[in-house]
Structure 1
Amino acid sequence: MTATLSVAAILAESSRRYPRRTAVVDGDLRVTYAQLWREALTVAGALRDLGVRPGDRVALQCPNTVDFPRAYYGILALGAVVVPVHLLLTPAEVAYTLRDSGARLLIAHPAVAAGDFDIPVVAPSSLLDAEPLRSYASRDPSDPAVVLYTSGTTGQPKGAVLSHLNLVMNATVNVFDANDARPSDVVLGCLPLFHTFGQTVGMNGTFRLGATLVMLARFTGPAALDLMVAEGVDVFHGVPTMYLALLDAAAGRTDLPRLRLCVSGGASLPVAVLERFNEAFATSIFEGYGLSETSPTATTNQPHFGTRAGTVGHAVWGVEVQVADAAVDERIELLPPGALGELVVRGHNVFSGYLDRPGDTALAVVDGWFRTGDLGTVDEDGFVTIVDRKKDLVIRGGFNVYPREVEEVLARHPGVAQVAVIGVPDPVHGEEICAVVVPGSPAPSGDELIAWSKERLGRHKYPRQVRFVESLPLGPSHKVLKRELRKAVVASSIGVTEA
């Protein structure tokens, strides 16, 4: 007999164990686990009636409302594969995702801009009148469960295929081993659920515990604080820009939420922001690290090992993270503790490969290790530190400069609200270091920031250019889009201060 496993079991089991407990809060709606699972089985029945079969791919484009988990677990209950679609894509980009994934059907929320697609498009509300399935379809643990499209920083986006084993294990390890998560938790669901962080750590992790997920469809700092206070939220998962927004919104307020557990991921969290947030909210942020291809969590600061600011903690249970020689592509050459190289990952969380792209998969998974493209170190105590993205490395006059190191220094200046450091073309040095700054109050001058950096960084590291902007370009998951920033900076000379 073959073993079976389904991500749908996450919701099914919590429905069996905690039927009357609130699974989702969505505005005035309070949806119990029993009700949510019944609705997911109804969605599965409707998809079956529309001709969807186990193994088929179904695209899902939906904001953070209860419709998302209804449809997500309904697709999985049928034995089909979920293809989450970013909300901010243009119709042409959506069409690419649908075509590349081979999706049979698109479930699109009415709030999402429509397009002219080659496959049927249905609203989530139209899937709630069918005869529900009696239970979920059995799947092999290695069967595809979700296809997540990467951001496509080089070339076109690729579909990362995640198995049922990948996702069930990652959700389980996150809540039972890596973090002090509890069934009594009330979690703010503000990370986009179509993104791997919000989907696995937020939604699947919360439901694996039988805790409560409070939906927030559009994140702003004030809206998040108001909702957290109103609903008694005590767990927050976010990316660094969200923590900055909460800090800004907290200024002058006395009614702040009592946050027991905070997890940061998606991008490097400046230590200065971590310290300010911990002090303002009387809590501790646990910074972690992962990618779509690692389900996503690979490492996190964990109570068991103790925390260390500026690091992303230890590898999670059942996962190994090492450092390999970044200059050797055809094989993995592991480096000793403390050495700088490319972070590589192996374990239950590593994806099955890129959909229909065996060549790209072979480049990404070498000798059983997934090559992350991130540069970092693993020290003698097992703490992992991310230095920077391999592709974000700035080479100035032959010297390697890691933008994150420069950003950490500038983030400590009292007049800097946000900063991103990039490399721009330079005829003398090849690349020059440019700091793009969202000023705080009082706003600093460019000369002031250059002088600040010069005192604290080596001569080859400090920025020679400073540009001031009202905001940094953010992707759907609230990460700073450095490639867009580079394009904008290279195309314009507005707001430049040069040393």
Structure 2
Amino acid sequence: MANLFDPVRRHADSHPDTVAIRGESSVPGGYTAWTYHQLRSASINYATILIGSGLRVGDRVLLIAPSVPEFVVAYMGIQVAGAVVVPVNTMSTRAEVEYVLNDAKCALVIAWYGLGPAASSAANACGVPVRTLGLGADSGPASTEVRDRDPEDTAAILYTSGTTGRPKGAQLTVRNLLSAGEIGVACSRSTRTDRTGTALPLFHVFGQASVMMTTFTAGGSLSLLSRFDAAAMTAMLRRDRLTVLAGVPTMWNAMLHAADDTDPADFAQLRIAISGGASLPAAVTQQFEARFGCTILEGYGLTETTAFGTFTDIDRGPKVGSVGSPTPLTRIEVRDEAGDPCPPSTVGEIFIRGATVMKGYWERPSDTAAVLDADGWLRTGDLGTTDADGDLRIVDRAKDLIIRGGYNVYPSEVEETLFAHPDIIEVAVIGIPDDHYGEEVATVVVRHPASTLSADDVSTWARERLSAYKIPRVIQFVDTLPKGATGKILKRSIDRASLAQAASDKRREIP
């Protein structure tokens, strides 16, 4: 039997005064640091309150909060109570929250006090109670016993989707997340003397599994930045003397172009920088190392693999174009269309098997069967090659997934929203290259002949229904979209050059 809370209580017993979390306090502008002893007490206390309010073992709890210490307390409190955490993006709209509440059949919503009304409005519409997180509103005796869980019990449900259908809840088990922590420690060689920092959202699998669980497994401290800003990241690096820093490519790029007072001295104690969430341009790696004397190591994983799949060997360092070799307890195969393993340098689909592969999609057996076979191999939908050293290179995403600034944007979800507009006949959403975000969201629209629908109208429609990072920034109208013999829109035949030019022209228009 086990619980995700085990690393926290283990270190609270052995090193109670070691700082577990540093971050912004619930008092605006404040800063706080909590020891492992304090984190254990606060998490058990929170579980006591949740159980007292009627939460039962196995209940799903939607958690919507930024990356602050209270997020960790609520997350761990849910685990202590034996329930299942369902973290969602803080930028989610009411419709998006309502969908997750209904799909996961959540019994409770925990929402950060500083967020807008989307979560509470959705909860009220679904008849689900809401508990506000932050400002010290919750207090009481820490009297609850930590609930033992079967390692195969679902601990968290993280919503994700492919190119078709609505978002699906990937069920990550107690074993998946504890294994993620152990793998992270092995890859980064973290110890309890490490001070890890990130501006990654903890509701995302990268921040939650790869960073938070690794830090707590090692017994080190975790510094949190609730919103990324290059200057704030550097200030946190200096203040907390960070030894490990985790982020996405846009963060590293922003730090490269930050104020001139950022110099190698700020990075002197930093022994490892970890990048994921999107492909890291080789130029950024090279420039970062040249300017700051710090090497960025890249990894590859999915929500369905609890963030882990491959990682750059810490001794060998980065290899241009590679995302590293399989992590411990993990196997990688690149297969051809017949399902046979490809020889090195041959492009095929990437399959992953190991301790972090999800249990399956929540209440979606057919979707689970489509990607997860009886032997535990997960079909990723990504294309890649291996080299003679066994290192993996991502060639393309077989899915049409767009990664904008480290956030996943699923074209089908945006298309479904735009299709609902009465003046839109057809729509295709694709990603185009962007120097800052990696990719930008673009859409090509066919409107009714008599319609006067404008790009601003489309943007407003999307803004009212989608999170900010999903809204198309480039909108182009055409008379028809390219189609195949079956009538399927051929996205690869869309003129991306004209969309990229439109994006460039739009950037020049901004003063």
Gaps of 5+ in 1: 394-402, 405-421, 423-430, 441-472
Deviations 1:206-234 (A, max 9, x none): 11111111111111111111221122122
State the Cα deviation string for residues 160-183 of structure 1 (Å, max 9, x = none): 0000000101111111x2123232
Match in the other structure for 1:386? 394
Paired residues in the alignment total 416
Find the partner of 2:95 among 79, 92, 96: 92
Q: Secondary structure at the match of 1:225?
A: helix
Structure 2: which amino acid aligns with 1:352? K
Given candidates 9, 15, 21, the residue that maps to 1:18 is 15
Please report how far the alpha carbon of residue 479 of structure 1 lies from its aligned counterpart in structure 2 after TM superposition. Answer: 13
Structure 1 CA distance for aligned equivalents of residues 79 and 357 of structure 2: 20
Q: Deviations over 1:328-370 (max 9, x none)?
A: 5xxx332222211111000111100000000100111135310
**Correspondence 1:143 to 2:153:** yes
Matched, 1:299 2:310: yes
Match of 2:492 in 1: none
Distance 1:480 1:178, change over 3 A: farther
Q: Quick one: distance in 1 between partners of 2:280 and 2:114?
A: 32
Offset of residue 308 of structure 1: 1.7
TM-score where L is the length of structure 2: 0.76
TM-aligned CA distance change 1:14 to 1:287, over 3 Å: same
| Distance in 1 (alpha carbons) for counterparts of 2:432 and 2:80 | 48
Q: Which residue of 2 aligns with 1:239?
A: 248
- 2:257 counterpart SS class: helix
**1:46 and 1:127 in contact (8 A); partners too:** no
Q: Give 1:283 deviation, angstroms.
A: 1.2
Conservation of the 8 A alpha-carbon contact between 1:39 and 1:128 = no
Equivalent AA in structure 1 for residue 283 of structure 2: A
Matched, 1:222 2:225: no
Runs of 4+, deviation exceeding 4 Å: 433-440, 478-481, 489-493
Name the residue aligned to 2:442. Answer: none
Q: Which runs of 5+ in 2 are unaligned?
A: 25-30, 404-410, 412-427, 438-461, 479-498, 506-511
C-alpha separation in 2, matches of 1:369 and 1:122: 39
> Secondary structure in 1 aligned to 2:22?
strand
Do 1:179 and 1:302's aligned partners in 2 also have CA atoms closer than 8 Å? no
Per-residue deviation, 1:112: 1.5
Q: In the alignment, what sits opposite 2:364?
A: 357
Q: Which amino acid counterpart does residue 229 of structure 2 have in structure 1? A: T
The equivalent residue for 2:509 is none
Q: 1:20-99 maps to which residues of 2 (within 5 A)?
A: 20-27=17-24, 28-99=31-102
Question: Match for residue 347 of structure 1?
Answer: 354
Q: Does 1:169 align with 2:179?
A: yes
Aligned CA distance change for structure 1 residues 436 and 288 (closer, same or farther; 3 Å): closer
1:335 aligns with 2:342: yes
Paired residue for 2:330, among 316, 319, 328?
319
> For the aligned residues, what is the CA RMSD?
2.8
CA contact (8 A) 1:184 1:211 kept: yes
SS at match of 1:351: coil
Within a 5 Å distance, the mapping from 1:176-191 to structure 2 comes to 177-191=186-200
Choose from 364, 368, 379 the match for 1:371.
Answer: 379
What residue number does 1:428 align with?
A: none
Q: Residue 489 and residue 15 in structure 1: after superposition, are their counterparts in 2 closer, same or farther (change >3 A)?
A: farther
Aligned partner of 1:398 in structure 2 is none
Distance 2:469 2:316 in 1: 30
> Superposed, which structure 2 residues align to 1:382-461 within 5 Å?
382-392=390-400, 436-438=433-435
Once residues 359 and 9 of structure 1 are traced to their aligned partners in structure 2, the CA distance between those partners, rounded to angstroms, is 34
2:298 is aligned, of 287, 294, 298, to 287
> Match for 1:13: what amino acid?
R
Distance in 2 between residues matched to 1:14 and 1:382, nearest whole Å: 36
- One-letter amino acid of the counterpart of residue 26, structure 1: G
Distance 1:21 1:88 in 2: 33
User: What SS does the aligned partner of 1:71 have?
Assistant: helix
- Matched letter for residue 3 of structure 2: S
Percent identity of the aligned residues?
36
Deviation at 1:13, TM superposition (A): 1.1
Match of 2:267, SS state, is coil
